[in-house]
Amino acid sequence: MTVRIITTNWLASEMAIKSVRVAVFVKEQNIPYKIDFDDNDQKATHWLALTDSQLPVGTARLQRDGHFGRMAVLPDWRSRGIGSLIISAAIDHSRKLSLEPLFLNAQLNARPFYQRFGFCSHGPVFMEAGIEHQAMHLS
């Protein structure tokens, strides 16, 4: 089954975005709903990974200040390159809009993933929503 990445917004795709983020962040990682969903969602550009049957299996957002985040891929769809497709689309989008440098707060276990795309860690490890994170920027 193939997956395609679309660029979208909150108004057009709220339910699809929520279906992925609730499954990953709220249910799997026990992050409170009120922490995961915030006012930035309405202003951000979002990406959705959709299967041939239009099932949303991955998502992420990019805020206007270059802050990338809320990257999530459903467990059964991980290790298939979906996250790579999403972040590549976001990097391309940011370059077209001159939003560099991109920055994010990576869960520690995700740092190697982001490093493959040129992100560098900086600053101390910190807790966010009960999970260790580290700031990263695209060099």
**Would you place residue 1 in the very low, low, confident or very high pLDDT band (cuts 50, 70, 90)?**
confident
Domain of 76: which CATH number?
3.40.630.30
Query: Structure pTM?
Result: 0.94
- Do 4 and 44 meet the contact criterion of CB atoms below 8 Å apart? no
Q: With 90 as the cut, is the pLDDT of residue 18 above it?
A: yes
Residue 95 lies in a domain: yes
Residue 105 lies in a domain: no
Residue 63 lies in a domain: yes
Domain holding 56, by residue range, is 3-99
Q: How many domains does the chain have?
A: 1
State the average pLDDT over residues 10-22: 98
Structure tokens given for 46: 């979002």
Residue 56 lies in a domain: yes
CA distance 19 to 7: 17
